[in-house]
C-alpha cells in the first residue's frame, strides 16, 4: 500500500509506482472526486484514447419520428 503526506500547501506526490501503472504524464489533468468520505483521482484522457473502451455497447439511439 502506498502512503502519501499532505503538504502544508495541501499538495501530494503520487508515488512513482502508481504514476507508471496508471500511465500518468507530467502536466496531465486529473479529476478529483469526493464520494462517501473517500477521494478518488481520475485521469482525464483525450477523446482519441477513449475509442473502443466499451466494446459491445449498444450505440443505437432511439429517435423521434419527426427527427429522422
Model confidence pLDDT, tens digit, residues 8-38: 999 999 999 999 999 999 999 999 999 999 9
Which has more confidence, 56 or 32?
32
pLDDT for residue 53 is more than 70: yes
Distance CA 43, CA 10 (A): 19
Query: What sign results for the dihedral spanned by CA atoms 12, 24, 54, 50?
Result: positive
Place 45 in a pLDDT band, splitting at 50, 70 and 90.
confident
Q: What is the pLDDT of residue 48?
A: 79
Which has more confidence, 38 or 49?
38
Quick one: 21 exposed, middle or buried, by C-beta within 10 A (0-12, 13-18, 19+)?
Answer: exposed
Q: Give the whole-number percent of the chain exceeding pLDDT 70.
A: 99
Grid-cell match 495541501, residue found: 10
Amino acid at each position: 500500500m502506498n502512503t502519501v503526506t499532505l503538504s502544508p500547501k495541501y499538495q501530494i506526490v503520487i508515488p512513482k509506482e502508481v504514476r507508471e501503472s496508471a500511465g500518468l504524464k507530467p502536466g496531465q489533468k486529473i479529476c478529483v472526486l469526493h464520494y462517501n468520505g473517500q477521494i478518488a483521482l481520475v485521469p482525464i484522457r483525450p477523446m482519441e484514447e477513449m475509442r473502443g473502451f466499451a466494446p459491445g455497447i449498444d450505440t443505437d439511439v432511439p429517435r423521434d419520428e419527426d427527427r429522422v
